Chain A
Amino acid sequence: MTTTFTASTTDAAPRRNREMADVQYLATRAMTYLLVLTAVSVIGFPLFWMLLCSFKPGGELYAVPPTFLPQIWTLQNYRDLFVQTNFLTYFANSLIVAGGATFASLVIGGLGAYSLSRFKFFGIGAFSNIALVCYMLPEVLIVLPLYIYVVKLGLADTLFSLIVANTAFTLPLALWFMRSYFNAIPVSLEESAMIDGCTRLQAMMKITVPLALPGIVSVGVFSFNHAWNEFLFALVFTSSETKKTLPLGLATWIGQDNIYSWGMLLAGAVLVTIPVVLFYLLVQRKLVVGLSEGGTKGE
């Protein structure tokens, strides 16, 4: 059928085909933009709403039906957050815990990953597998015994206990990731450095670590992000107001659910998100690459 069609209308058919193709092309384009617009507005809405509502005064947050744009823009919620609550203490605690856990897992995990990547010795395969299993252990399984130790060692209600517990979850991640980054760097570079008189350790510090730096940075971001968001250990290990991390602090406000707290909650939510977004912007490209290259832990 197509052959007779093209044969009989030699002149008009190609043009008509091209027009058809153009229409189809335009339709596909329009469809793409429509879908993207829908996806972006539906997915982005909650965050947009959070930001918008954090600038509404107390009364407007409880208006029925809700106002869309704030009728009065105010920073009152943010002011209340700093004046009426321990937000700054929570923030500092979270920084200490996330920073400590990230530092520990980068140093310990970096050394371990180097060993796993560069040497062959008995039990090495088994060790990587064990690390992977550790990575899959449910938090609720580990939190019970860790809580028992924390109580017995008198570490309850300390930030130190949170740093250690978070390291348990970020270390396997660091090991697996950094091993693959180290694997990507040819051993020959280190060998030539060693021929030039470096010791193995110097070769590692001067050649391999700088080359693997992008990978190390993204592992650091993951670890930091994990510890920054961690909630269960904080909930179980700490109790006093001065030791709360941000997620726990904010969560206790939700629990109270009193009529004036939404504004502060939303303002707090915005401020907790900012460091994460900054971090993301910092390492955006590597983050996506790292995520797609290997299996990673959620959060």
Chain B
Amino acid sequence: MAESHNSLSGDRFLAYATLTPSAFVLFLLAGVPTVTVFLTSMQDIGMGETSGPFIGLDNFIWALSDPTFYSALWHTFVWVFGSVSIEMVLGLGLALLLNRTFVFRGAARAIILAPYLVPTVVAVMTWRYMFHDIVGIINAVLIDVGIIDGPLLWLSSQSLAMFSVIMVGVWKFFPFAVIALLGILQSIPQEQYEAARIDGASPFQQFMRITLPYVMPVFLLTALLRTIWSFHKFEIIYLMTGGGPLDSTTTLPILVYLKAFSDFEFGRAAAVAILTFGILCILLGGYFILIKRAEARQ
């Protein structure tokens, strides 16, 4: 009796002792900052200051009545949905391809997954060199083939900059979708396909009736994760264009950074950051409903 009681209380002690460091770190590095950011968002903070007088919700009112907020919101949606939808379609296609058997499959897989492992700053530098107006390979090839007459300003024209940035984002992050989808594709029971083939189903029908429903929950979950991360994504856009030319690639995270560390308006930056997180949470709610439905259907 006594011994079992001892081991139980010993267990409880160990349970709390092992969890405490994590709880402490998360509290200090996520909990406290979240509270601080709310407090900051309600202060009028001048240049070089880190706190100031309370002004209630004025910073939020400023953000919601400022056109730069809405244009940043629009750019964020273009960036997120542009890159995530291309990534997911490309990712599914390549996962289906890599799921087949062929010689050098290991090597092909390594090359296709490589962009995901490359540090963002490396991806950005390489692409910026390739996108270069004059010495870049992309313009050189396109002119050589005859698709364009003169060099395109991939990063310094307002109409092309977002497209170019999305291209780099897709290149860097589509392998995540490939990895996730390849995992689920490999777990589909092969008997299902055999049964479908005996029943005379065409490859297209097999894809629509077996493959697609099977991968759908993972597909949506992957899209969800990619949406969250690209919503936050700061450095690809910052390093490619710095949010420019003018504000044509300024997404919400870029706006937060510029407000805080270039205009030094911490209060307003905090308000925009909170609004960004709020919008993301609404999006997540939508995704969760979709995923639940897909799981229920399966």
Question: Is the beta-carbon distance between A66 and B111 smaller than 8 angstroms?
Answer: no
A115 within 8 A of B: yes
Complex contacts, A280 vs chain B, CB 8 Å: 117
Q: What are the residues of chain B within 8 A of A46 when measuring CB–CB?
A: 115, 123, 126-127, 130, 171
Is the pair A63, B232 in contact by a Cβ cutoff of 8 Å? no
Does A111 lie within 8 Å of B21, measured CB to CB? yes
Q: How far is the CA of A147 from the CA of B48 in the complex (A)?
A: 12
A109 to B20, CA, bound (A): 10
- In the assembled complex, the CB of B279 is this many whole angstroms from the nearest CB of chain A, namely 11
Q: Binary interface profile of B, 17-46, with partner A (CB < 8 Å = 1, else 0)?
A: 011011101100110111011001000000
Contact assessment for B118 and A273 in the assembled complex, using a CB-CB cutoff below 8 Å: yes
- With A108-B21, A148-B50, A151-B50 known as contacts, the answer to whether A165 contacts B134 (CB < 8 A) is no
A137 within 8 A of B: yes
- Which B98-124 residues have a C-beta within 8 angstroms of A? 100, 102, 108, 111-112, 114-115, 117-124
Whether A119 contacts B33 in the complex (CB less than 8 A), given A46-B130, A273-B118, comes out as no
- For residue B125, CB closer than 8 A to chain A, the reply is yes
The answer to whether B26 and A134 have CB atoms under 8 Å apart is yes
Interface of B is mostly: helix
Cβ B21 vs Cβ A141 within 8 A: no
Chain B minimum-CB-distance residue to A110: B18
- A79 contacts partner chain B, Cβ-Cβ < 8 Å: no
Query: How far in angstroms is the closest Cβ of chain A from B87?
Result: 11
Tell me whether A19 is interfacial, beta carbon within 8 Å. no
Interface size in chain B (residues, C-beta < 8 A): 87
**Shortest Cβ distance from A113 into chain B, in angstroms?**
8
Q: Is the CB of A232 within 8 A of B235?
A: yes
Closest chain A CB from B29 CB (angstroms): 3
Please, how many angstroms separate the alpha-carbon atoms of A66 and B141 in the complex? 9
Q: How far is the CB of A44 from chain B (nearest CB, A)?
A: 4
A25 to chain B, nearest CB (A): 12
A173 CB → nearest B CB, Å: 12
- From A299, which residue of chain B is reached at the shortest CB distance? B120
Binary contact readout B36-78 vs A (1 if CB under 8 angstroms, 0 otherwise)? 1100100000000011000000000000000000000000000
- Whether B119 lies near A247 (C-beta < 8 A) is yes
Q: 7 closest A-B pairs (Cβ-Cβ)?
A: A292-B183, A112-B22, A168-B29, A119-B15, A145-B33, A145-B36, A134-B30
5 intermolecular pairs with C-beta atoms under 8 Å apart: A141-B33, A141-B37, A165-B29, A232-B234, A269-B126
In the complex, given contacts A112-B19, A144-B256, A298-B173, what are 20 additional A-B residue pairs having Cβ atoms less than 8 angstroms apart? A49-B129, A62-B135, A64-B134, A111-B19, A112-B21, A121-B15, A136-B284, A137-B34, A140-B276, A141-B274, A142-B30, A143-B260, A144-B266, A145-B32, A149-B33, A151-B50, A231-B234, A247-B121, A269-B121, A276-B118
